[in-house]
Structure 1
Amino acid sequence: MQREQIVQQWLEQIIEKQAFEIKYLPGDASFRRYARIHLPNQTYMLMDAPPEKEDCLPFVQIAAYLEQHGARVPHIIAQDLSQGFLLLEDFGDHLLANALNAQTVDAYYLQAFKQIIQLQAIPVDQLIFPKYSIEKLIQEMRLFDQWMLPDLKIEVTEKHAELLHRSYQWIIENLEHQPQVLVHRDYHSRNLMILDGENDLGVIDFQDAVVGPDTYDLISIIRDAYVQWPSQQVQKWIAEFYAMLPEQARKNRDLAQFQLDAEIMSIQRHLKILGIFVRLYVRDGKSGYLKDLPRVMWYLRQELAHCSALQDFQQFIEMEVMPAFIAKYGEYTELGDVA
C-alpha cells in the first residue's frame, strides 16, 4: 500500500465523520514530510516521518515537555509512533523569515531573544534532553573536513589534520566553560512562526534540543544561514541579549567575554553548516542550500578574525580554502548598515 493511502486511512480514523483534504507541502532537509489537513472550519498539520528513517519520539517528548513549561510549540492532537504519524496544531504559513526587514527586525528579534531566555530558564530533564557532548560537537565540526574540503578538492594532509584537531580542541575547551542550558539547536527565522493574535512566536523543529552552551540559539538567529544583518547591528543584539541573561550567567563573565563566547560558538556552528550543506547536495541530491554557502563562509571568516588563538586556522581558510571556494561558489560581501 502506498504511504499516502496509509496516511489517508489513519486520518479517517482520527477525523471521524468529517470530510477533509490533504495538501502536502514542499520538502525540507530531512526525511520528514508535512501536509496541511483542511477541514470545513479547521486546519491541522500532519507530520509524516517514516519510522525506518525518522524517530518521532523525541519530537513528542520534547513538545509535551516544552508546552508544559509554557513554550509556544504546536499542540499534538493525535499520534501513531509505530507508523510515524503526528497530527499537530497548525501554526499557519507566516514564517518569521518572510517578515524580516530593516524596519521590523529589531522588534521581532527582541521577541526571539525573550523566547530564548524563557527556554533557557526551563528546568532540564536529562532523560529527554541529552547533553551536547564533546564527541557530538567535534563530530559536527568534522563535517567541514569530511565534506567541504573534499568537495573543493583540498587534500587533508597530516599537517592539516593536526591543525584541524588542535583548532577543534581549543573551540571545545571554550564551549565547555559556557553556562549549559536548554538549546533548541536550530533556532532561526525559518523555524519561528508569527501567530495570528499572539505575542509569542511559534517555535517548530525542536526535536534535536539538547543541553549545551547558552550562546548557541542566540547566534543561530543573529547569524542566520539564510539571512544576514550588518555586523554593527549584530554586535548590538549580542549586548542586548547579554543584558537579558540572568545574573548567574553573567557572573565572572563580562560583555567582552560573552562576545568572544558567541564568536567561538558561531565558528563551531558554521563549520558544521558548511559540511551539512555540501553533504545535502553530494549525498542527498538537494542543491537548494548551495546558494547559502558563500554567506556561511563569510560568517566563518569574520568569526575567525575575532579569535587570535585560531590565527593558524584562519590562515589555512584564507590561503588554501578560499581560492577554491570562490572559484566554485563565489564570494559573499557584507551588507551596508541598516538605517
Structure 2
Amino acid sequence: MERSPSTRQEAAAPAAGAAAEQDGRRAGLTAWTRARLRQMLPNAPELGKLEIVSGDASHRRYFRARPTAETSYIAVDAPPQKEDSRPFVEVTRLLRAASLRAPELHAADLEQGYMLLEDFGDQLYLPRLLQAQESGDFETAGRLYRAAIDSLLDLQQHVDPRELPAYDKTELTREMSLFPDWFCRRWLQVEPNAEQMEIIDGCFDFLCGAALAQTRVAVHRDYHSRNLMLPRAGADRPGILDFQDAVQGACSYDLVSLLRDCYIKWDRRRLEEWIGYYLEGARSRGIVSGVSDAQFRRDFDLMGLQRHLKVLGIFCRLTIRDHKAGFLADIPLVMEYFTEVAGEYREMEPIQSWFRRELEPRAREKLRSVN
C-alpha cells in the first residue's frame, strides 16, 4: 500500500532532522579545527572545507583537513551524547606508550566531541589483501599478516591488560545476546521458542567458559583488515585504528578477528601458517605458555564462534537501527565461518543444527530478496 503524503512527510522528518544535525556538527568541527590549526601552524593559510573520509560502525565521522598541500590531519566528529571519546584518548596513550602505530592525538575537546588526529592516509589492508588473493600474490599477503601479527604481539606484550576493562562473562554474554535479539528476532523475524533459547543459553555458557579459561592480555577487540593501515615507506608495522573498545581478554581474540576476518577468507593452509607464526612469537615472548598447538587451535576456534555470533547481531543492528545496509553483504561469510567451525565441535551441535536447518536458509532467502 502506498503511503499518504502526510505519512511520507512524517517519515522524512527524522531523516531531515538528522541531516541538519550532521551539517551543524560539521560546521562546528570545521571552526574548531581551524582554530586548532592556527595554533599549531600559525604560518599556514586558512583551512578550507573538511573533506569527508568515512564513517564507521558507530556514530563517529572522519574528515580530512588539509592546511597545506603537504600536510593533512584527520578531524573526528564524535557526538558526546552518542559516543564517549574518553576510552579512545586513554587507549591511544597506552598504545603509543607501547610504540604501536596508533595515530597521534593532536587536540581534543571531549565536551563537544571533536578530535584532531594524525592522518595515516587511505591505504587500508583490505583492498591490498583482496588484490593479493585474486592475483595469487601470497608473498605480499604473508608479509602483511606477519606485520599485523607482530604488532598484535607487541600489544599483548607491552600493554598492561590491568589498565583495561575486563572482558568478563557479563560482557561476553551481552555481546552474544545480539544474535537472538537482532539476527533472529529483529532481522529474520524468528522468535526462538523455549527449547531453542535453552540451546542458545547452553552455547553461550560453553563459549564463555572457553574464553575465560585463556591467558588474559590486552585485546584490541576489532583487529581486522578494515582497521589496519598499510605500513608507510620505511615502516614495518601497520597503522592501527578503531581501538577505543579495547579490553582485558582472551589471547586468541584478536588473532581470530584478524585471520577469520568478516571481510576476507583464506584457505586452511594459510590460516595454519599464520596461526603457527603467532604461536611461535607468543611463546618466545612469554605471552603464551603451557598450551599445546591443539589446545590453542581449539581456543582460537571457539573464540571465533563467540565473535561471529556477536557480529551477526551487530551487522543486523547496523542495518535496521542505523540504516547502514552495506553490512548485509558481509553476513554470508560470517554465517559460513560459524557453520563450518561449529560443525567441528560436538558441544556446538545443537545450535549448529538449528542454525543450518532454520536460520541460514531464511537468512539467504532474505538476502536474495534484498538484492
Q: Specify the TM-score bucket, using the shorter chain as the normaliser.
A: over 0.9
Unpaired runs of 5+ in structure 1? 331-339
Structure 2 residue 109 is matched with structure 1 residue 80: yes
Match in the other structure for 1:285: 323
Q: Is the 8 A contact 1:43 1:90 kept in 2?
A: yes
Structure 1 match to 2:238: 201
- Tell whether the 8 Å contact from 2:161 to 2:218 is kept in structure 1 after alignment: no
Equivalent in the alignment of 2:300: 262
Residue 240 of structure 1 corresponds to 277
Note if contact 1:260-1:307 (Cα within 8 Å) is conserved in structure 2: no
Residue of 195, 215, 240 corresponding to 1:179: 215
- 2:183 corresponds in structure 1 to 148
TM-score, normalised with respect to structure 1: 0.93
Alignment root-mean-square deviation, CA: 1.5
CA offsets 1:246-301 (integer angstroms, 9 cap, x no match): 36554331101100100000000000000010111111111000011000000001
1:38, 1:272 → 2: CA distance?
38
In the alignment, what sits opposite 2:339?
Answer: 301
> Which residue identity lines up with residue 111 of structure 1 in the other structure?
A
Contact 2:29 2:75 in 1 (8 A): no
Which residue of 2 is the match for residue 337 of structure 1? none
**Residue 314 in 1 paired to residue 352 in 2?**
yes
Give yes or no for contact 2:86–2:110 (8 Å, CA) kept in 1.
Answer: yes
Amino acid at match of 2:88: F
Shift of 1:326: 2.4
Percent pairwise identity: 35
Q: Which runs of 4+ in 1 moved over 6 A?
A: none
Matches within 5 A, 1:29-178: 29-40=57-68, 41-100=70-129, 101-102=132-133, 103=137, 104-124=140-160, 126=162, 128-150=163-185, 151-178=187-214
Q: CA deviation at 1:327?
A: 1.7
Within the candidate set 239, 262, 276, 2:314 is matched to 276
Change (3 A) 1:239 1:196: closer
Supply the distance in 1 between the matched residues of 2:339 and 2:366 (Cα, whole angstroms). Answer: 17
Question: What SS does the corresponding residue of 1:54 show, helix, strand or coil?
Answer: coil
Report the 3-state secondary structure (helix = DSSP H, G, I; strand = E; otherwise coil) of the residue aligned with 2:108: strand
Aligned positions, number:
329
Asked if residue 324 in structure 1 is aligned to residue 362 in structure 2, the reply is yes
Code of the aligned partner of 1:131: A
Instruction: For 2:116, give the aligned amino acid.
Output: L
In 2, Cα distance between the equivalents of 1:285 and 1:73? 29
- Residues 161, 216 of structure 2: 8 Å contact kept: no
* 1:211 matched to 2:211: no
Q: Structure 1 residue 329: deviation in Å?
A: 2.5
Cα distance in structure 1, aligned partners of 2:232 and 2:335: 36
CA distance in 2, matches of 1:277, 1:84: 25
CA distance in 1, matches of 2:276, 2:71: 42
1:6-49, CA deviations, whole angstroms, 9 ceiling, x for partnerless residues?
22221232121432231122322211111100012310111111
- Aligned letter for 2:150? K
Q: Which has the higher helix share?
A: 2
Is the Cα–Cα contact under 8 Å of residues 92 and 195 in structure 1 kept in the other structure?
no
Which residue of structure 2 aligns with residue 13 of structure 1? 35
Unaligned runs of 5+ in 2: 1-22
Q: CA deviation at 1:212?
A: 0.3
SS at match of 2:170: helix
- The answer to whether the Cα contact below 8 Å between 1:260 and 1:306 also exists between their aligned partners in 2 is no
What is the CA–CA distance in structure 2 between the aligned matches of 1:9 and 1:33, rounded to whole Å? 16
CA distance in 1 between partners of 2:54 and 2:98 (Å): 31
Structure 1 residues 155 and 235, CA, compared in 2 at 3 Å: closer, same or farther? same
Distance 1:87 1:116 in 2: 25
Q: CA deviation at 1:141?
A: 0.8
Aligned pair 1:223/2:260, yes or no? yes
Q: Give the whole-Å Cα distance in 1 for the aligned partners of 2:55 and 2:290.
A: 45
The residue identity in structure 1 corresponding to 2:57 is A
Q: Distance in 2 between matches of 1:149 and 1:282?
A: 13
- Higher mean alpha-carbon deviation, 106-115 vs 314-323, is at 314-323
| Amino acid across the alignment from 2:125 | L
**Counterpart code for 1:306:** E
Shift of 1:61: 0.9
What is the deviation of 1:86?
Answer: 0.9
Q: Which amino acid aligns with 1:80?
A: D
> What's the TM-score once normalised by structure 2's chain length?
0.85
1:188 alignment partner in structure 2: 224
